[in-house]
Structure 1
Amino acid sequence: MSSFPPDDTQDRPGCPFSGDREPLYGPEFTADPSAVYERLRERGQTAPVELAPGVNATLVLGYDAALEVLRSPGTFVRDSRRWQATMPPDSPVLPVMGYRPTCLMSDGDAHARLRRVISDAYARVDPNMIRAHVEATAEMLIGRFAAKGEVNLLADYALALPLWVFNYLHGCPTELGDRLVSGMSRVVDVVEAEQANIDLTRALTELVALKRREPGQDVTSWMMQHPARLSDDEMLHQLFIILGAVTQHEANLTANALRLLLSDDRFAGDLAGGSMQIEDALDEVLWTDPPMTNLSVTFPTHQVNVGGAMLPADQPVLIGYAAANTDPTVHGGHRAGNRAHLSWGAGPHACPVQGTARLIAAIAIEKLLDRLPDLRLAVPTENLEWRPSPFFRSLTALPVQFTPVRADSAGTVSVPSWARLTPSSVPQPPPQQPPPPTGWRHAIGRWWRGQ
């Protein structure tokens, strides 16, 4: 445990941030975060918040201030270890904010090295192949519930589809892929979370070991064969982050857009009317109700002025994506086709695969509405519940009803041969790899518990 004392600069008399902190937890925030952001705007482009009882942070609400932070990696670093040393090991925010050796939480050359591995590997995947596989997977999943007339779209479609696509792109065998899907789903839903986390760690460990022995034409193998030569421990961390992004961002983007299409008068009517309506819904969600609502945690290297307020060194600063996107000083109200939102981040840490993520969500929604054109919510919109989180905007369920249809091709995924991963060349793996560090097999379990 470090001797660094907690910095209470923002609560001292005379500081622009003196006064009560707004909690980003509890039923009020969960039900209507936009109302909380409106109150916070009265304090300026940044405001003091509490992420959990006793966990203080600064939330950036202004669009221009958010860009300033995101585009200044030399001042606002991602490495949280100095702050983390002041936190109790069981702090509930550490699973999200605690340091991990990934591209999301690294700076400078370390960040560039890890990010390049992911970007280069995904750049080798043909978008036409992704479209073919997403369409086939969507057909398979829809076939499982099409004859029932009702389903929880969050669990059985929005979450399941990107996890299946992850398994395919990363070369997971069927049995191992099933365990990854099950493990991550139970971790996110906090169902037997400790055991689920152990199961997920074991499955990812086996995937890394498998691809070391038998490299293939898949993203995992390409990451391993990259000139950066990631260790097994580094591979484990990057795969967990990618899988978590699929679970949180991709699934929630799809579910939130479906909720909008099924509940908002601007999108109601003929839902099978074309892809433009779907693209507009995705734009609206990314502007106003993004899956990642407050994140991109940074830590100023020194006291710094942002938006007229002095922020202390080594204390967490979060980007309020939902708040910044709707900043009334810069937002003109026209969102359809407008991609200037910050929901994918900005600067050197912007999402490296945002195009792929949006493509998967658009195809998933298009296929669903094409197969089930009379899809409708099974409960009033106001009865839908949101998961309590200061970081993510995620429904607990999305129950829908529809006219039952014949379930075709249930249980199979047929992908045409031209859509297989077939790069023109795959670099050979290095002849020897360093042995994994002691305890690496249990690393994910420790960071999930904030240890």
Structure 2
Amino acid sequence: MHPDIDRVLLYSPEFAADPHRAYAAMRAEYGPLVPVELAPQVPATLVIGYHTALRILHDPEHFPADPRSWQHTVPADSAVLPLLEWRPNALRSSGAEHARYRVANTSAINGVDLGELRDAVDELATALIDRFRRAGTADLVREYAQPLAFGIVNRMLGCPAEIGERIARGMVAIFEGDDAAQGNRLLTEALMELVEHKRAEPGADITTSLLNHQVALDDLELVHQLVVLYGAGIEPLQNLILNALLLILDDDRFGGDLLGGSLSTRDALDEVLFTDPPMANFCVTYPRQPVLIDGVWLPAHQPVVISMAAGNNDPAIRADDRTGNRSHLAWSAGPHACPARSAAYLVAQEAVDQLLDILPDLELATPASELVWRPGPFHRALATLPVRFPPVSALPR
């Protein structure tokens, strides 16, 4: 693609407000490959065709995930650099190094006891709901989904609260783009403390499993595995919970049928993973050399970003009834597919079910059309989700 071509700005408030309208306009003008800007002076190609996306995701030889040949070409203070820069972890590596990191992460994640995880979600969800159940109103972003996702990831990784608070501040700064470089430093320092803490006090958690894995990760590698686990665990998880709750509360197909027992919370989650996946545009790769795909030359060492949201809604594959259909791209595909799908589904489903069980008359306090979505090229994230409900004097036993 020519460097001077007009590009769609993925970081604008207008894009955040109605990305599906933007995807439709992109498809009409450009087809499956779209020239975009991820941040000022950060050009990229956005893949909005489902079959094109799968082809790229399954071809790491031509589309590796290592950004080192690219990252020196963007402004050092770019808001997206901390999210996209090279780190010694599975997300930003290719070949043998990717395989080494991947096996350690997969082993640690698979070691999580899902029964204990379900109990932990129920316990934390109930405690959070207990704080606002008498008020009759709540912001489910600030008071529920955000602290729940953060608390559960901390529990899974064996992170003490004090270290976790600094990790959370660093993650927020990186995702929001407000002094992302400082957020990156804060995050790295806190994670190094977590590694040192778990070396001194090991436990039944993911961090300890990574420390003990036979691939013998060094301290820097350990820190950057944890960067991915926190990044993939907090922001996408809270957005999945919130987007599913919005769908259930706003759409009669789900709200009415869900309470009537026809559609399950899992169906609502799958619908969201198709229509508004929590990470809408991600899975970034960097071609080793110019590549001709779908009649378009993609330049070497420039970001190729997969739009899970647009790909899922490609007219070439879209079906009206998606009940039970899990062929979406929300978990990615190929060698970089998310290894924590079972845990993420469990946490999101339990979080939604606990809230609706305790507050069955929950409803939106603001029309869905007036809700504000946080700008950003990658996430699909509500700024707030205000709700109201009849106050509950006591928790059910």
Where on the TM-score scale, by shorter chain, does this alignment land: which range? over 0.9
In the TM superposition, what whole-angstrom CA distance separates every residue of 1:247-277 from its partner, at most 9, and x where no partner exists? Answer: 2110100011111111122223375444943
Per-residue CA deviations over 1:72-106 (Å, capped at 9, x if unaligned) read 00000111111112112112221222222211000
Deviation, structure 1 residue 222: 0.8
Which whole-Å deviations, capped at 9, do the CAs of 1:293-327 have from their partners, x for residues lacking one?
11111111111122221211111111011111011
1:208 deviation in Å? 0.8
Find the counterpart in structure 2 of residue 127 from structure 1. 114
1:91 aligns with 78
Q: How many angstroms does 1:178 deviate by?
A: 4.8
- Secondary structure of the structure 1 residue equivalent to 2:254: coil
**1:142-291 equivalence runs, <5 A:** 142-181=129-168, 184-185=171-172, 188=175, 200-269=187-256, 272-274=259-261, 276-291=263-278
**Normalization by structure 2: what TM-score?**
0.93
Secondary structure of the structure 1 residue equivalent to 2:16: helix
Gaps of 5+ in 2: none
Q: How does 1:358-437 map to 2 (within 5 A)?
A: 358-406=345-393, 408=395
Q: 2:319: which partner in 1?
A: 332
Code of the residue aligned with 2:24 in structure 1: it is E
Unaligned runs of 5+ in 1: 1-9, 13-17, 410-451
Aligned partner of 1:11 among 2, 27, 32: 2
Compared with structure 1, are the counterparts of its residues 177 and 406 closer, same or farther at alpha carbon in structure 2 (3 Å cutoff)?
farther
- Amino acid aligned to 1:11: H
Question: Structure 1 residues 316, 194: closer, same or farther in 2, change over 3 A?
Answer: closer
Larger Rg: 1
C-alpha spacing 1:273/1:194, structure 2 compared with 1 (3 Å): farther
**Equivalent residue, structure 1, for 2:339:** 352
Question: How much does 1:407 deviate?
Answer: 5.1
| Distance in 1 (alpha carbons) for counterparts of 2:327 and 2:13 | 31
- 1:103 is paired with a residue whose SS is coil
Which amino acid in structure 2 is aligned with residue 69 of structure 1?
A: I
| Cα pair 1:150 1:400 within 8 Å, conserved | yes
Comparing 153-162 with 195-204, greater Cα deviation is found at: 195-204
8 Å contact from structure 1 (residues 183, 196) kept in 2: yes
Residue in 2 aligned with 1:41?
27
Letter in 2 for 1:395: L
| Counterpart in the other structure of 2:15 | 29
For residues 5-62 of structure 1, the C-alpha deviation after alignment (integer angstroms, 9 at most, x for no partner) is xxxxx127xxxxx842222232321111111111111222212112223321111111
Which of the residues 306, 311, 315 maps onto 2:298?
Answer: 311
Greater relative CO (CA pairs within 8 A, separation 6+) = 1
Shift of 1:284: 1.1
Whether the 8 Å contact between 1:135 and 1:367 is mirrored in structure 2 is yes
Aligned with 2:74: secondary structure?
coil
Q: Distance in 1 between matches of 2:308 and 2:149?
A: 23
Matched, 1:50 2:41: no
Q: Is the deviation greater in 58-67 or in 169-178?
A: 169-178
Aligned to 1:77: 64
- Secondary structure (helix, strand or coil) at the match of 1:300 reads coil
Q: Shift of the alpha carbon at 1:408?
A: 4.7
Alpha-carbon shift at residue 187 of structure 1 (Å) = 5.7
Partners of 1:71 and 1:201 lie apart in 2 by: 31
Q: How far apart, CA to CA, are the structure 2 residues paired with 1:320 and 1:384?
A: 22
Q: Point out the more displaced range, 219-228 or 36-45.
A: 36-45
What do residues 211-250 of structure 1 show as CA deviations (whole Å, max 9, x unaligned)? 1112222111111000011111111111122111122110
Deviations 1:418-438 (A, max 9, x none): xxxxxxxxxxxxxxxxxxxxx
Contact 1:80-1:98 at 8 Å conserved across structures? yes
The answer to whether the 8 A contact 1:164-1:181 is kept is no
The aligned counterpart of 2:96 is 109
- Counterpart in 2 of 1:422? none
Q: Distance in 2 between matches of 1:362 and 1:233?
A: 34
Name the SS of the counterpart of 1:392 in structure 2: coil
Aligned residue identity for 1:151:
A
* 2:46 aligned residue: 59
Letter in 2 for 1:225: N
CA contact (8 A) 1:145 1:407 kept: no
Q: TM-score, normalised by structure 1?
A: 0.83
Aligned-CA RMSD value: 2.2
- Higher helix content, 1 or 2: 2
Q: Could you tell me how far apart the structure 2 residues matched to 1:101 and 1:229 are?
A: 13
